[in-house]
């Protein structure tokens, strides 16, 4: 039985997916769905309809199958303002591990993942901080477990994964936000200061990914997002932080390396690179007084809040990004384009 394809769909059948059809049918008034959904795919009314592809080829190239058509009616029954919030962006039922969950970006992401439906294992080296984050998630009616662990300790991370899986279920999501920063001119930076930042900001991310990846491979797949920095892309004017910049650049390329290594296991690995963000880390003396100037240097005219990182992370973790891996997403208000 033939399916009709529009002119814009013919050059690349693989670009047509069930998600796009569901959203368009529910949201755009000029998008019509044939009454016989078993026979036709919805097309813009103005498109020509003189090209066909048989059911078997259509299913093979687009992965569209009968359950997709069943979703049209349920989507159209939603209020229009809710129709774009499809299940593809939900993390419902997922089990997440978030490092650095005690403060700053990590805390905001832990709360955000819970809001998106995930059960969250909150990991931080400061017990009081991570317990407070988990308590906030629990108070909102979601599930969470606090775990005190140091990301530079492989055994502690393995134990954290085990504790989270025991409490919440098989691990499928990971966000690695733990990090530190300091400053010193490169020519006089002590070796210990260099090693401390590299150990936490790069090796700690690798060890976190390693513990998460082992679990996800065992569990049949998952998604990891590492928190890098726009400092992976630029050398920040006025900040003497060669160790931090180098570590964050390493995080970006680590993500690409793990993305190809673990693709065969169904594990996606991406990163986001925040711009200047109001967190405890940016309140250190050498950066605090400069934050106002950074806002003026940002095309969007402001610095970020930790909550600005939640949406990009939820997207990359979700099924909406199921064909995205090895990517670093700059979330910097446009700072690096100048």
Q: Tokens for 267, please give them.
A: 């594990």
> Sign of dihedral through CA atoms 4, 6, 9, 11?
positive
Q: Which residues contact 160 (CB under 8 A, 6 or more apart)?
A: 97, 121, 123, 147, 149, 211
Element (H, E) at 230: none
Place of tokens 């499928």: 172
Cα–Cα distances in Å, from 144 out to 140, 147, 305, 307, 337? 10, 10, 23, 19, 38
CA–CA distance, 92 with 34 (Å, rounded to integer): 31
Instruction: Mention every residue, 6+ apart, whose C-beta is less than 8 A from residue 139.
Output: none
Q: Please identify which of the residues 3, 40, 244, 294 carries the catalytic annotation.
A: 244
Retrieve residue 3's tokens. 């399916």
SS3 content of the chain, % helix, strand, coil (to 5): 50, 15, 35
The 8-class DSSP code of residue 201 comes to: I
Full 3-state SS string of 94-144 = CEEEEECCCCHHHHHHHHHHHHCCCEEEEEECCHHHHHHHHHHHHHCCCCE
Distance, in Å, from the CA atom of 266 to the CA atom of 284, rounded to the nearest integer, reads 40
Mode of pairing for the β-strands spanning 267-274 and 222-227: parallel
244 is catalytic: yes
Beta strands in 193-310 (DSSP E): 222-227, 267-274
List, by residue number, the catalytic residues: 244
């Amino acid at each position: 039985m033939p399916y009709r394809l529009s002119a814009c769909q013919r050059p690349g059948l693989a670009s047509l997916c069930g998600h796009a059809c569901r959203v368009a049918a529910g949201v755009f008034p000029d998008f019509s769905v044939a009454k016989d959904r078993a026979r036709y795919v919805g097309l813009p009314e103005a498109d020509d309809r003189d090209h066909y592809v048989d059911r078997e080829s259509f299913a093979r190239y687009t992965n569209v199958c009968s359950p997709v058509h069943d979703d049209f009616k349920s989507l159209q029954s939603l209020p229009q303002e809710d129709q774009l919030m499809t299940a593809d962006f939900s993390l419902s039922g997922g089990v997440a591990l978030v490092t650095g969950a005690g403060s700053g970006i990590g805390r905001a992401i832990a709360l955000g993942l819970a809001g998106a439906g995930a059960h969250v294992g909150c990991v931080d080296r400061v017990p009081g901080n991570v317990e407070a984050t988990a308590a906030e998630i629990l108070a909102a009616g979601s599930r969470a477990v606090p775990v005190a662990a140091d990301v530079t300790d492989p055994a502690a991370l393995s134990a954290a994964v085990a504790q989270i899986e025991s409490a919440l279920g098989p691990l499928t999501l990971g966000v690695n936000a733990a990090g530190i920063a300091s400053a010193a001119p490169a020519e006089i930076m002590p070796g210990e200061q260099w090693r401390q930042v590299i150990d936490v900001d790069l090796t700690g991310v690798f060890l976190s990914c390693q513990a998460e990846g082992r679990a996800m491979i065992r569990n049949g797949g998952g998604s990891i997002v590492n928190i890098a920095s726009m400092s992976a892309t630029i050398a920040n004017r006025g900040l003497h932080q060669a160790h931090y910049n180098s570590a964050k650049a390493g995080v970006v390329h680590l993500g690409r390396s793990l993305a190809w290594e673990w693709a065969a296991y169904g594990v996606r690995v991406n990163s986001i690179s925040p711009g200047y963000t109001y967190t405890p880390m940016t309140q250190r003396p050498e950066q605090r007084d400069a934050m106002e100037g950074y806002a003026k240097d940002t095309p969007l005219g402001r610095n970020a809040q930790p909550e600005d990182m939640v949406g990009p992370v939820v997207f990359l973790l979700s099924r909406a990004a199921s064909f995205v891996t090895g990517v670093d997403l700059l979330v910097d208000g446009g700072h690096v384009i100048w």
